[in-house]
Amino acid sequence: MGNRPDELRALLDSVAKQDGDPVRVVVVGNGSPVPEVPDGVRTVELPENLGIPGGRNVGIEAFGPGGQDVDILLFLDDDGLLAHHDTAELCRQAFAADPELGIISFRIADPDTGSTQRRHVPRLRAADPMRSSRVTTFLGGANAVRTRVFADVGGLPGAFFYAHEETDLAWRALDAGWMIDYRSDMVLYHPATAPSRHAVYHRMVARNRVWLARRNLPAPLVPLYLGAWMLLTLLRRPSRPALNAWFGGFREGWSTPCGPRRPMRWRTVWRLTRLGRPPVI
């Protein structure tokens, strides 16, 4: 968004210090001018804010159609920085060693305390953020994707704008036979924050949850998945304004187009279940 020039520069410096071959970098200004960047860093300035998935899709295309000019794409939030110099090399090694690996989710840690918020561990059993494992989704601001995944299943769902776009891509990737790893040794430092700081959070979370189910789940699972999330939302006892926004988004998710429906195969449902997160929660 162009409003964190110091944090962006720190991130770019951490990328430049990576071991091995230099990492090619593109910075996308999502409806805003791009601050000054180091020589060799390419920039793209969009005339309007396309949202998180829309901006990242533009970044993908900056490396050729579907990112085909490179083998791996890293997506990094501009207020984070890579904690170690070997992260890019670890990514290269991980993808080379496992032909089925399509996506890697990094561990996000607070730079002051080193702690990882529970919500940043993309699995239900999130008590131990230091345990790496296969997972069923990934963190949008700290990940690496094999570009062949985009060739197989397409890019991020631009209409989502904010929230759940990663899970939409993850489900499509898993349905195409790819796997996803959470790696605790690949670390992005990022200040601990609450997602509800965004004004659109409650509406977008609910709307996109409905879109996610309508687009990807077999019909019998759609009411189970959305019913479970409605119950969880009520149990968390949000404020009345937040709950009103959530239900407004939920209704919007049913009344607006969600994009093409491509329900996952039942064997993918079983794969998600074996990985510890059946698509009903």
pLDDT single digits (tens) 55-107: 999 999 999 999 999 999 999 999 999 999 999 999 999 999 999 999 999 99
Predicted confidence at residue 217, as pLDDT, reads 98
pLDDT tens-digit series, residues 130-160 = 999 999 999 999 999 999 999 999 999 999 9
Please report, as a single letter, which amino acid is at residue 129: P
Predicted confidence at residue 49, as pLDDT, reads 96
What is the SS3 assignment for 174?
A: helix
pTM: 0.96
Averages of pLDDT over runs of 10 residues in the chain (281 residues) are 92 98 97 95 97 98 97 96 98 98 98 94 95 98 98 98 97 98 98 72 96 98 98 94 95 98 98 96 87
Do 160 and 84 touch, CB atoms closer than 8 A? Answer: no
HSE, side-chain direction, 13 A CA sphere, residue 19: 10
What is the SS3 assignment for 212?
A: helix
What is the SS3 assignment for 11?
A: helix
Predicted confidence at residue 196, as pLDDT, reads 58
Predicted confidence at residue 45, as pLDDT, reads 97
Q: Which residues, at least 6 apart from 277, have a Cβ–Cβ distance to it below 8 Å?
A: 123, 124, 135, 136, 137
Percentage of the chain exceeding pLDDT 70: 99
